[in-house]
Structure 1
Amino acid sequence: MAEQLRWVLIIISVIVIGGLLIHGLWSVRKKDEPATPADERVEPTEQAPVQQTAAEPIQERSAERDEPQFGDLSFSAADEQPEPQQSVEQTPEDLEEPKAESESAAPAADFIIVHIQMPEGMVMEGSKLLPAVNTLGFKYSEEGFFNRHLDPAGLGPVLFRLVNMYNPGTFDIDNMEQFSTAGISLFMTLPCDGDGLAAFNMLHSAAKKLADEFGATILDSQREEMTVDSVREYVEKVRSFCA
Structure 2
Amino acid sequence: MDIALLVLGIVVIVGIFAHGLRTIRRQGQAKMKTKAIKPMPKVKDDKGFDDDGIGEVRVVARKRQEPKMEQMDLNLAESAQAAPAAAPAAAAVAEEVPAQAAEPELPSLQAVAEDIEPEPAPQQEAPAPQQVLVLHVVAREEEPVEGAELLPLLLTLGLKFGEMDIFHRHLEPSGRGPVLFSLANMVNPGTFDLDNMEQFSTKGLALFMTLPNEGDAMKAFAMMLSAAQKLAEEFGCQVLDGDRNLVTQQTVQHYQGQIREFTRRQLLAAGGH
Q: What is the aligned residue count?
A: 140
Alpha-carbon contact 1:125-1:180 (below 8 Å) kept: yes
Asked if 1:174 is matched to 2:195, the reply is yes
Name the structure 2 match of 1:241: 262
Name the structure 2 match of 1:113: 134
**SS of alignment partner, residue 149 of structure 2:** helix
Quote the offset at 1:205 in angstroms. Answer: 0.6
Alpha-carbon contact 1:118-1:216 (below 8 Å) kept: yes
Q: Which amino acid aligns with 2:244?
A: R
Counterpart CA distance in 1 for 2:221 and 2:229 is 12
- Counterpart mapping for 1:61-210 below 5 A: 106=127, 108-210=129-231
Quote the offset at 1:105 in angstroms. Answer: 8.1
Q: Which amino acid aligns with 2:216?
A: D
Choose from 200, 212, 237 the match for 1:216.
Answer: 237
Counterpart CA distance in 2 for 1:105 and 1:223 is 32
Counterpart CA distance in 2 for 1:216 and 1:146 is 19
- Please list every run of 5 or more consecutive structure 1 residues that lacks an aligned counterpart in the other structure: 1-103
Q: TM-score, structure 2 length as denominator? A: 0.50
Task: Please list the CA deviations of residues 96-115 of structure 1 after superposition, one character each: whole Å capped at 9, or x if unmatched.
Answer: xxxxxxxx883552111000
Counterpart CA distance in 1 for 2:128 and 2:139 is 32
Alpha-carbon contact 1:149-1:160 (below 8 Å) kept: yes
Task: Please list the CA deviations of residues 174-223 of structure 1 after superposition, one character each: whole Å capped at 9, or x if unmatched.
Answer: 00000000100100001111211010000101111110010000000110
| CA distance 1:184–1:107, change in 2 (3 Å) | farther
Counterpart CA distance in 2 for 1:222 and 1:231 is 13
| CA distance 1:237–1:187, change in 2 (3 Å) | same
**Higher RCO (C-alpha 8 Å, min separation 6):** 1
Counterpart CA distance in 1 for 2:169 and 2:205 is 15
Counterpart CA distance in 1 for 2:192 and 2:202 is 10
Quote the offset at 1:150 in angstroms. Answer: 0.4
Counterpart CA distance in 2 for 1:121 and 1:108 is 40
Name the structure 2 match of 1:230: 251
**SS of alignment partner, residue 184 of structure 1:** strand
Select the structure of larger CA radius of gyration. 2
Name the structure 2 match of 1:35: none
Which consecutive aligned stretches of 4+ in structure 1 deviate over 3 angstroms post-superposition? none
Task: Please list the CA deviations of residues 44-76 of structure 1 after superposition, one character each: whole Å capped at 9, or x if unmatched.
Answer: xxxxxxxxxxxxxxxxxxxxxxxxxxxxxxxxx
- Please list every run of 5 or more consecutive structure 2 residues that lacks an aligned counterpart in the other structure: 1-124, 265-273
